[in-house]
Amino acid sequence: MMKRMMNNRPAPISGITITIIFILSLLFSACVVFDSPTEHYKKGNAYYDGKKFDLAVEEYSAAISRDSRQAIIFVNRALSYNQLGQYDRAIADCDKAIELNSGLALAYITRASAYNEKGWYDLALADCNRAIEISPRAALAYINRAWALNAKGRYEEAVEDCTKAIDIEPGRAIAYMNRAWAYNELGKYDLALSDCNKTLELDPTISLAYVNRAWVYNQTGGYDQAIADCTKAISLEPNIATAYVNRAWANIMKGRHDDAIKDCDKAIELNPNLPIAYTTRAWAYFEKFGYDDTKDWLTMGMVDSNKAIELNPNFAQAYNNRAWGYILKHIYQLAIVDSSKAIDLNPKFALAYTTRAWAYVNLAQWDLAIVDCDKAIEINPMLAQAWDRRAFCYNQKAMYKRALEDANVAININPEMPISYYTRGIIHKNLGNMLKAEEDLQKCIDLTEDPELERAARAVLGTF
């Protein structure tokens, strides 16, 4: 009996077995650790820092599937969604984060960023205000609020918010970039250029900073520099539509209308809802109308202008472009209505004053045209068209000395603008400077692709 009982006892556990069990338990523990929410969260952060946003989303999602109570994980996944352009998903994650923790400022800031991308600026402002209530020194809240303020045309307030953000975090490149945007719209081009340069000094990989600087160069006559900056932006981010638009603008100013149209086509392919792409292409079409009868460029330009207004009824540039179309159609009163609408929407829009001035010129209302040119030059002293049109008006009023001064300024700003040589040629003729008049009129003929302007220049030359 005792022998049977002893035979039925469990066999003793060997040292090898204990070792195996210990190793297995360690492996199991390690698996638990490596599969924990914290580990997936850390991996997500590493992928985010490495700009691998799709992989970051996967890791954050894995963390959430293991623990759905951590608000910060939803916020970080939302940040990744924003980087991937998936703004609705970002908003949904921020909603969840706020539900879990209504005092998490970063959730409001991240949602505001998504709202800004979708054009929901009032919602973005509300979220930024809430974030600032929670965390008054959250620089990103001021930066995102500045973005929304810029989009709503409240540029002075945007400058204040960006300056506040810079005071809090002087190394935050995006704050300088947003302030440059505001300065640009306020016509403070020196300040805008300085902020663009500072942005790129802090982070030379921000493609939008090159686009913003290109916009400054376009406003100040630096068209070759604008083209170089846009090309750099495209090399960094091939799908950045606004880079193509800004390069198109510079190409128009250099008379490369076909190149401009190609760039606008690409911008519209990338973003069919970008109003400025349509207005810029319309401008190129209007320029083609003057010398190319292979297509109905004028109608095409009006269609694009109307499309831009449909997309954004408060877009000043669209009304200004349509005004130019009306000038080409010789409907000057409608041109005045549209350019005045552009000015109402953006009183700092220098080009709109020059457009209205040209409508007044065609109605022989020289004094009204001069007033508008004065305003355009006050806003943007580097706008060659304004100086040229005022020169034309002074010439019509027989104020030849002042006309010549203005024509010289226009040519100094943009030596490649044919009409300025035509204007100065007429002024020289009226002053009796026939050799200089002949030189300028010939220069106009050499530069222009507009057969109507060429005919006008040749007609004046024929009177010598």
Kindly report, residue by residue over 231-275, the tens digit of the pLDDT: 999 999 999 999 999 999 999 988 899 999 999 999 999 999 999
Closest-CA residue to 241 (of 262, 263, 225): 263
CA distance 303 to 293: 17
The type of residue at 83 is Q
pLDDT of residue 34: 55
**Coil/strand/helix, residue 76:** helix
**CATH number of the structural domain 381-464:** 1.25.40.10
Cα of first residue to Cα of last residue in the chain, in angstroms, is 141
CA distance 91 to 114: 7
CA distance 253 to 416: 8
Does residue 332 contact residue 359 with C-beta atoms inside 8 Å? Answer: yes
pLDDT of residue 448: 87
CA distance 265 to 260: 9
Does residue 312 contact residue 271 with C-beta atoms inside 8 Å? Answer: no
pTM beyond 0.75: no
Domain boundaries, the chain: 381-464
What is the H or E stretch that residue 85 is in?
A: none
In DSSP notation, 150-213 reads HHTT-HHHHHHHHHHHHHH-TT-HHHHHHHHHHHHHTT-HHHHHHHHHHHHHH-TT-HHHHHHH
pLDDT of residue 16: 55
Does residue 257 contact residue 280 with C-beta atoms inside 8 Å? Answer: no
CA distance 373 to 243: 29
pLDDT of residue 253: 87
DSSP state of 331: -
Residues of the chain falling short of pLDDT 50:
1-14, 18, 20-24, 26-33
Does residue 306 contact residue 322 with C-beta atoms inside 8 Å? Answer: yes
Does residue 92 contact residue 82 with C-beta atoms inside 8 Å? Answer: no
Contacts of 321 (CB under 8 A, 6+ apart): 279, 282, 283, 286, 301, 304, 305, 308
CA distance 431 to 391: 14
Tokens of 439: 């030189």
DSSP state of 294: S
pLDDT of residue 180: 96
